[in-house]
Amino acid sequence: MIKIEIQDLHYTYPGGVEALRGISLTIKPGEQVAMVGQNGSGKTTLVKHLNGLLQPTSGSVLIGGWDTKKAAVAKLAARVGYVFQNPDEQLFSSTVGMEVAFGPHNLGYGDEKVSALVKDALALTELSDKTATNPYDLSATWRKMVALASIISMDTEIVIFDEPTTGQDALSVARIANIIAELRKRGKTVITITHDIDFCAENFERVIALSQGQVLLDGTANEVLGQENILAQTYVDPPQLTRLGKRLRLKETVRNQEEFLAALKKK
């Protein structure tokens, strides 16, 4: 059971951009968290600190008690999996099967365990029929699925998805929602960055909104996503049905179709 503790984290890129300006957060084991916020607000920079891809300029990040400044990146990799915003930064193997097997192999798992993990990850992402395909012969949307599979196969307790639904159609967004639900069942901690606020509202209990390198809001989805004026500071709109509910003067904040219709019936 691995907890994430971030204390007063600051990060300045080598060129001088101050991307994170004092972030403190705790994420409990098994939590499902969505992260939202304006372009450039620091979401990607923040999550890259969780697996040691970036090191704090000041402050600290503890992953199950391990300080990322001291822990070896290879050891962190067994705890935290990160799916890049752009899959092309992540994929390098010549077949989907090899790509998805790379991570667990690298963690030192035996052949049998690796093949079981690969099989599971491919099934979850619906890639089982594409194991022999070169990822670069797939469309960008399927490449994104390969990127997901190659992290899921590492079976880490913490999984981070950086904008998984970008450019995906309705079917594929539903597939990603299923993957997240399955990881929740397995007790994984899932952190997902997204601009798709409806997707966020429908699949996450906790939402963190970043703005200019700081935490603007952090709470349950209904608490955070109902705050239209504060969210606007970081260029985020509430979900469609939340906005509609407000305009119809429904008593409570609603965030999905079920809640919306229930509130409408009561009115």
Partner 1 sequence: MAIVNLQNVTYKYPLTHTPVLSNINLEVKEGEFVAVIGPNGAGKSTLCYTLAGFVPHFFKGELEGKVEVAGVDLKSTPLNEWVRNVGLAFQNPFNQISGAKYTVFEEIAFGLENQGVPRDEMNRRVDQALTMTGIRDLADRSPYSLSGGQQQRVALTSILVMQPKILVLDEPTSQMDPIGTREVFGVIRQMAERGMTVIMAEHKVEWIAEFADRVVALKDGKILLQGVPADVLTSHLLAENGFGTSRYTSAAREALKFNLWPKHLHLPTTLQEAVDGFNLTSAPSPKERGE
> Which spans of this chain sit near Mg ion (rule: CB under 5 A)?
44, 85
85 with 163: CB under 8 angstroms? yes
Give the largest Cα separation in the chain, rounded: 59
Residue 131 partner contact from Mg ion, ligand ATP, partner 1, none using kind-dependent CB cut-offs of 5 to 8 Å: none
H-helix segments, 48-191: 73-77, 96-106, 111-124, 140-152, 170-185
The neighbouring-strand residues paired with 37 are 210
**Quick check: 104 and 153 in contact, CB under 8 A?**
yes
User: Letter for the amino acid at 176?
Assistant: I
Residue 62, both tokens: 């503890």
What's CA 232's distance to the chain center, in Å?
Answer: 22
Closest approach, Cβ 153 to ligand ATP, in A, equals 25
260 touches partner 1 by CB under 8 A: yes
Q: Which residue's C-beta sits nearest to Mg ion?
A: 44
Phi, psi at 213, each rounded to 5°: 80, 10
Specify the residue, 23 or 101, whose C-beta has the smaller distance to Mg ion: 23
Q: How far is the CB of 233 from ligand ATP (least distance, A)?
A: 14
| Beta carbon of residue 266, minimum distance to ligand ATP (angstroms, whole number) | 37
Nearest to 166 by CA among 138, 140, 187: 140
Instruction: Kindly tell me which residue out of 12, 166, 214, 220 binds partner 1, with binding defined by CB under 8 A.
Output: 166
CA–CA separation, 223 and 188 (whole Å) = 23
Stretch that binds ligand ATP, among 39-47, 59-67, 123-131, 218-226 (CB under 6 A): 39-47
User: Total binding residues for partner 1 by CB under 8 A?
Assistant: 45
141 belongs to the binding site for partner 1 (CB under 8 A)? yes
- In the list ligand ATP, partner 1, Mg ion, none, the entry touching 74 (Cβ below 5 to 8 angstroms by class) is none
- The yes or no reply on residue 251 touching partner 1 (CB under 8 A) is no
DSSP conformation letters of 164-225: TTTT--HHHHHHHHHHHHHHHHTT-EEEEE-S-HHHHHHH-SEEEEEETTEEEEEEEHHHHH
Q: Is 132 in the site for partner 1 (CB under 8 A)?
A: no
Q: Which stretch binds partner 1 (CB under 8 A): 55-63, 71-79, 81-89, 107-115?
A: 81-89
**Site for partner 1 (CB under 8 A): which residue of 65, 112, 170, 251?**
170
**Beta carbon nearer to ligand ATP, 13 or 92:** 13
Interface of this chain with partner 1, residues 179 to 198, rule: CB under 8 A: 195, 197-198
